[in-house]
Amino acid sequence: MDNPTVLILCTGNSCRSHLAEGILRAAAGDLLTVASAGSKPAGYVHPHAIRVMREIGIDISGHASKSMNDFLTAKVETVITVCGKADQACPRFPGQVHRHHWPFDDPAHATGSEEEQLTVFRRVRDEIRRTFEAYADGRRDALQAAAH
């Protein structure tokens, strides 16, 4: 049996959705297939997102910015939007059972020095990490409860 697919959506698929994808894959990659996409993909993964994830031991340097349209024929069990605009633009996917909307600030809009921008990226990464690790724990607990 294939693992359920969780699709994390954002507008640009350059920062927040990649942070969440990397964190959820690290926390629940044995239980879930995790992907991310955007309603209007930026075409790149933000270098600061790659850097702050490397700081916590997660490599997202191989990620690519993708369109949510790439997943319209995929069997997506859960869609999680991490910004307001993606929630509004989000279609229903074949087989979709769950939908969650957990908005986070967009660190790509951070201003100031590089260090000030990285501080914002780290704060958003840590907020996403708390949320998605708790989600992974909940999925794991539900599977264990169903097995007993």
**Domains by residue range for the chain, with CATH:** 5-139 (3.40.50.2300)
Q: Is 83 a catalytic residue?
A: yes
- In 3D, which of 92, 100, 98, 86 has the Cα closest to residue 74? 92
Annotated catalytic residue within 6, 8, 10, 28: 10
The token pair that represents 25 in the structure block = 């894959």
pLDDT in tens, the chain (148 residues): 689 999 999 988 999 999 999 999 999 989 999 999 998 899 999 999 999 999 999 999 999 999 999 998 888 999 999 986 655 666 666 676 788 989 999 999 999 999 999 999 999 999 999 999 999 999 999 988 988 8
pLDDT value at position 96? Answer: 67
Indicate the burial class of 8 (C-beta count within 10 angstroms; 0-12, 13-18, 19 or more): buried
pLDDT value at position 90? Answer: 61
Rounded to whole angstroms, the Cα distance separating 129 from 66 reads 22
Rounded to whole angstroms, the Cα distance separating 104 from 145 reads 30
Annotated catalytic residue within 52, 83, 110, 120: 83
Annotated catalytic residue within 82, 90, 128, 136: 90
Q: Is 15 a catalytic residue?
A: no
| pTM of structure | 0.92
pLDDT value at position 15? Answer: 95
Indicate the burial class of 103 (C-beta count within 10 angstroms; 0-12, 13-18, 19 or more): middle
